[in-house]
């Protein structure tokens, strides 16, 4: 159980770039990916902005190296692209028989993007009814495993907006238990009418670009994307140089309400403090917090209260990177883990865009400018979800 | 990794929610759709909570409640749930709303309760349980994933108790949709004649089964989960016998050490072909049993199988209806091996032994 | 007013699935949230949909809901004040 878990590869596609290099450029230039919706077919175009990837499914398929579109959802295409990049960046061959490999993914809507187009036409037969079988959240996971050659295990997690933080945590535990040596861990979620309308009924979508931790914040912007990490045991790592080490993680439940967080942020408090405990770090050793920071009234307040409770008067630099990517739901934990690793590797904290005025209830303000040349030893990344599913990851430099 | 099963709760197409009886009467269905026999939920859930709950949510939290009550536990150290399709009723309701109302005037409740983690999250709220909480959604291995996580959790925290289970519902419209792509048998086939019918397809089911797992010895324990294995996409060359023997060897056991083999036969000739070499291998040596005629085929069917194995081991009684050859029932039942597969893509093995 | 409050009671029971509650059980002046009927923020969102669907009144800020839905009477008053139909 004392096994260490290293990150050797990262891959990402989201509104600010179709790979880690593009995402990094956008982050360094403080360039948001929030825009009017032009790809998703919805009546809310022009009304609700989102972190939409400006590529059609056909363009995504070309990028993913997929020729047969018959059974491909946008969710699986995004997943294939990010997973392929992660694998390439890790320089490993998953077919190497010396190591047990698996794909541990996450999604909240699975193949909903195709279900919502086709489900009233299933009775017409092919090609509509091909998408009956791509609805499952596990569909994209299996496509990734088969295309990239991961064999020994597939698993998919869905805990709303914390899904892929949990898939990273589960993958790490599988490695620590010696069940896997190498795992591709992350998540994928395409923008869909289902989620856009769903969050709209909750009245927590901002019609402007979101502004987490701002006094005037009114809600979030949805996004879409996929991100994966290649996690490896010490043995599988050998003498290669990792990008980062996953030093801590925790999962707790707020157990308060299906959608609202407890007033004192107890779940977030538990997940952060338990992740610190797991890593053996003191709060003072955290160099930067990549907050969940959705921009909703409720989240930012309760997350902020929990952060204050743990860090007291010594709060590290904080930013939410959702104003760049939008809230990518099941992919968010992995998207932000990749951004945290980019922060560590490039010694840069990316600012909390659109922030203007301090919240009355909190003592701290988020980072407002690009901060370069900071040695980031340990980064804490939060992901909180409906149903009180709260998770925290701690990534450390190597 | 292993754990005791300390408590159980099971709502299925058979009368299984009462832990005081064990398959005394078998429910016969004359259609390819087996629906859960549900308890009176008002006895388990407060009206203010019940009013918003979909059918699967009611099934899930009630089954979990029965399980915790059975184990005498108020608050587990972790809640780990599996569901394949998740909250289909609410998902369909919200999707239909999007179509019928042109993306306007939609009800938030259906959306909120459509998320896959709804059951696990509700259990946490009802128990005020702040601990580890996870939902696995990988189709036919959702339960195996949840069980693996539970065993890992207990290896990390041996003093904890873990509530784990699987929930799956079959809505009317999903039955019709999957029927249109030939999942299910036609005509008024009886579930009790499932293996006699040689036509393609199987019968559909649903259910919610929960287990309270612990590392502590207790006279109330049902059984021990000794081992668990899954195999993904092994290809056409996959041989069930070799997979089984390798798994048993990893537990220092051979086929002869197994008292009962519980198989996921579902009546579909192509699917059942996978088990045939294993059945031939067992013939005359190890008694075989099956369970999908009782619960129907669904993503979480292996959770029903684990429930069945736990009840058999604890009671040392095998309902005649589950035996492939009723005359071959074993005397003492110390070890049950469950083999299930889904469309030859996902295979799983669970080893259950007496305490 | 009396007519509207009675109608609202029936609509609230239906929309919120208050199976065991009858219109007579709801006091027009009693609190709907917290101690009263025990409704929560999700119910408030459902009532916002109800106002728009049945009365053509659109509420943009969910925080307004808490005041409007304090009781059946405050809800009726708000409707009478804002209804355009």
Task: Tell which of B51, B64, B111, B230 to mutate to test the A interface (max A CBs under 10 Å).
Answer: B111
In whole angstroms, give the CA distance from residue A286 to residue A344.
Answer: 12
Q: How many CA atoms lie within 13 A of B210 on its CB side?
A: 30
Average pLDDT over residues A62-72: 93
Question: Do both B181 and B228 map to the same domain?
Answer: no
Interface pTM, i.e. ipTM? 0.98
Please tell me which residue of chain A has the smallest CA distance to C59. Answer: A203
In whole angstroms, give the CA distance from residue A266 to residue A92.
Answer: 40
Give me the pLDDT at residue B47, please: 86
What's the domain count of chain B? 2
Judge: C19–B105 Cβ closer than 8 Å, yes or no: no
Residue ending a domain, among B181, B214, B247, is: B214
Same fold, A5-237 and A244-396: yes
- Measured between CB atoms, does A202 come within 8 Å of chain C? yes
Question: What CATH number has the domain bearing residue B244?
Answer: 3.40.47.10
Which CATH superfamily includes the segment(s) A244-396? Thiolase/Chalcone synthase (3.40.47.10)
Is residue A161 flagged as an active site residue? yes
Judge: A258–C48 Cβ closer than 8 Å, yes or no: no
Considering the candidates A161, A210, A354, A378, report the single residue annotated as catalytic.
A161
Residue ending a domain, among B192, B214, B236, is: B214
Give me the pLDDT at residue A2, please: 60
The residue with tokens 């019928």 is B100
State the DSSP string of B8-57: EEEESSSS-S-TT--SSSPPP-SSSB-------GGGTS-HHHHTT--HHH
Question: Do both B112 and B91 map to the same domain?
Answer: yes
Contacts of residue C20 in chain B, CB cutoff 8 Å? 47
Question: Do both B327 and B196 map to the same domain?
Answer: no
Nearest to B129 among A151, A158, A255 (CB): A255
Question: Do both B157 and B34 map to the same domain?
Answer: yes
Cβ burial of C35 (10 Å; 0-12, 13-18, 19+) is: exposed
Please tell me which residue of chain B has the smallest CA distance to A195. Answer: B111
- Measured between CB atoms, does C40 come within 8 Å of chain A? yes
Q: Which of residues 93-112 of B touch C (CB under 8 A)?
A: 105-109, 112
Question: Do both B270 and B210 map to the same domain?
Answer: no
Contacts of residue A255 in chain B, CB cutoff 8 Å? 124-125, 127-130
Nearest one of A320, A330, A47 to A191, comparing CA atoms: A330
Q: For chains A and B, what is the number of CB pairs under 8 angstroms? A: 178
Query: Which residue has better confidence, C32 or A163?
Result: A163
Contacts of residue B171 in chain A, CB cutoff 8 Å? none
Domains and CATH numbers, chain C: 2-82 (1.10.1200.10)
Distance from CA of A218 to the nearest CA of C (A): 9
Question: Do both B232 and B202 map to the same domain?
Answer: no
Each residue of B202-253: pLDDT tens digit?
999 999 999 999 999 999 999 999 999 999 998 877 789 999 999 999 999 9
Each residue of A354-381: pLDDT tens digit?
999 999 999 999 999 999 998 999 999 9
Average pLDDT over residues A49-61: 98
Give me the pLDDT at residue B236, please: 78
Asked if residue B290 lies in contact with residue B264, where contact means CB atoms within 8 angstroms, the answer is: yes
Question: Do both B124 and B233 map to the same domain?
Answer: no
Considering the candidates A14, A137, A210, A327, report the single residue annotated as catalytic.
A327
Whether C85 shows a pLDDT value over 80: the answer reads: no
Contacts of residue B230 in chain A, CB cutoff 8 Å? 153
Full domain range(s) for residue B25: 3-214
Question: Do both B24 and B67 map to the same domain?
Answer: yes
Give the model's confidence band at C84: pLDDT under 50 very low, under 70 low, under 90 confident, else very high.
Answer: low
Residue ending a domain, among B188, B214, B240, is: B214
Is residue A292 flagged as an active site residue? yes
Each residue of C18-39: pLDDT tens digit?
888 899 999 999 888 877 777 8
Average pLDDT over chain B reads: 96
Distance from CA of B139 to the nearest CA of A (A): 6
CATH of domain A5-237: 3.40.47.10
Give per-residue burial for B284-303: e unless 16+ CB within 10 Å, then b: eebbbbbbbbbbbbbbbbbb
Domain residue spans of chain A: 5-237, 244-396
Question: Do both B210 and B249 map to the same domain?
Answer: no
State the chains in contact with A (3 or more Cβ–Cβ pairs under 8 Å).
B, C
């Amino acid at each position: 159980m004392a096994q260490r878990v290293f990150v050797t590869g990262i891959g990402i596609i989201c509104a600010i770039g179709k790979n880690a290099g593009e995402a990094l450029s956008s982050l360094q230039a403080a360039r948001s990916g929030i825009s009017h919706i032009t790809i998703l077919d919805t009546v809310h175009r022009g009304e609700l902005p989102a972190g939409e990837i400006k590529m059609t499914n056909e363009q995504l398929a070309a990028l993913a190296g997929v020729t047969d579109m018959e059974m491909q959802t946008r969710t699986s295409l995004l997943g294939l692209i990010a997973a392929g990049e992660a694998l390439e960046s890790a320089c490993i061959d998953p077919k190497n028989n010396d190591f047990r490999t698996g794909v541990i993914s996450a999604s909240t809507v699975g193949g909903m993007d195709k279900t919502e187009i086709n489900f009233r036409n299933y009775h017409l037969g092919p090609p509509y009814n091909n998408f009956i079988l791509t609805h499952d959240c596990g569909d994209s996971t299996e496509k990734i495993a088969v295309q990239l050659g991961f064999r020994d295990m597939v698993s998919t997690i869905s805990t709303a907006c914390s899904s892929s933080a949990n898939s990273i945590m589960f993958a790490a535990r599988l490695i620590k238990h010696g069940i896997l040596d190498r795992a591709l861990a992350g998540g994928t979620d395409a923008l869909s009418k289902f989620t856009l309308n769903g969050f709209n009924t909750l009245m927590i979508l901002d019609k402007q670009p979101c502004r987490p931790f701002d006094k005037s914040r009114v809600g979030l912007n949805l996004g879409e994307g996929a991100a994966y990490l290649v996690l490896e045991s010490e043995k599988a790592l050998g003498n290669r140089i990792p990008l980062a080490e996953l030093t801590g993680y925790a999962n707790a439940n707020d157990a308060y309400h299906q959608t609202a967080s407890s007033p004192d942020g107890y779940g977030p408090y538990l997940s952060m403090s338990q992740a610190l405990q797991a890593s053996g770090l003191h709060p003072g050793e955290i160099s930067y917090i990549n907050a969940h920071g959705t921009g909703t009234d409720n989240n930012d307040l309760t997350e902020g209260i929990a952060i204050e409770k743990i860090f007291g008067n010594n709060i590290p630099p904080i930013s939410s990177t959702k104003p760049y990517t939008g809230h990518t739901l099941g992919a968010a934990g992995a998207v932000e883990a990749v951004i945290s690793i980019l922060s560590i590797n490039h010694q840069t904290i990316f600012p909390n865009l659109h922030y203007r005025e301090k919240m009355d209830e909190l003592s701290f303000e988020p980072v407002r400018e690009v901060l370069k040349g900071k040695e980031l030893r340990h980064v804490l990344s939060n992901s909180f979800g409906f149903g009180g599913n709260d998770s925290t990851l701690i990534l450390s430099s190597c | 990794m292993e754990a005791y099963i300390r408590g159980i709760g099971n709502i299925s197409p058979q009368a299984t929610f009462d832990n005081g009886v064990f398959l005394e009467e078998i429910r016969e269905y004359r259609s390819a759709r087996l629906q859960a026999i549900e308890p009176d939920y008002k006895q388990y859930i407060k009206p203010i909570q019940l009013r918003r709950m979909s059918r699967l949510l009611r099934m899930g939290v009630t089954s979990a409640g029965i399980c915790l009550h059975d184990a005498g536990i108020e608050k587990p150290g972790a809640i780990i749930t599996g569901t394949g399709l998740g909250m289909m009723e609410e998902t369909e309701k919200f999707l239909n709303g999007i179509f019928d109302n042109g993306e306007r005037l939609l009800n938030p409740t259906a959306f909120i309760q459509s998320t896959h983690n709804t059951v696990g999250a509700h259990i946490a709220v009802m128990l005020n349980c702040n601990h580890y909480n996870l939902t696995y959604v990988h189709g036919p291995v959702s339960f195996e994933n949840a069980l693996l996580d539970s065993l890992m959790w207990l290896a990390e925290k041996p003093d904890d108790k873990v509530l784990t289970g699987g929930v799956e519902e079959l809505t009317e419209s999903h039955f019709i949709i999957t029927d249109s792509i030939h999942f299910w048998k036609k005509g008024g086939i009886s579930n009790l004649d499932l293996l006699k019918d040689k036509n393609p397809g199987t019968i559909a089911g649903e259910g919610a089964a929960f287990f309270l797992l612990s590392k502590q010895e207790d006279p109330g324990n049902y059984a021990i989960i000794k081992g668990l294995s899954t195999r993904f996409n092994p290809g056409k060359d996959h041989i069930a016998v070799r997979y089984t023997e390798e798994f048993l060897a990893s537990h220092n056991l051979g086929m002869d050490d197994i008292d009962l083999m519980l198989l996921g036969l579902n009546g579909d000739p192509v699917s059942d072909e996978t088990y045939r070499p294993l059945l031939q291998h067992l013939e005359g040596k190890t008694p075989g049993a099956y369970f999908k005629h009782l619960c129907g085929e669904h993503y979480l069917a292996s959770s029903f199988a684990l429930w069945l194995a736990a009840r058999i081991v604890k009671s040392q009684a095998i309902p005649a209806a589950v035996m492939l050859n009723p005359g071959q029932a074993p005397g003492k039942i110390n070890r049950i091996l469950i083999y299930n597969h889904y469309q030859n893509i996902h295979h799983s093995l669970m080893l259950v032994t007496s305490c | 007013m009396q007519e509207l409050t009675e109608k609202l009671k029936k609509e609230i029971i239906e929309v919120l699935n208050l199976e065991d509650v009858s219109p007579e059980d709801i006091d027009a002046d009693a609190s709907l949230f917290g101690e009263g009927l025990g409704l929560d923020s999700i119910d408030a969102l459902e009532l916002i949909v109800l106002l728009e669907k049945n009365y053509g009144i659109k509420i943009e800020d969910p925080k307004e809901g808490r005041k409007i839905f304090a009781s059946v009477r405050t809800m009726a008053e708000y409707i009478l004040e804002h209804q355009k139909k």
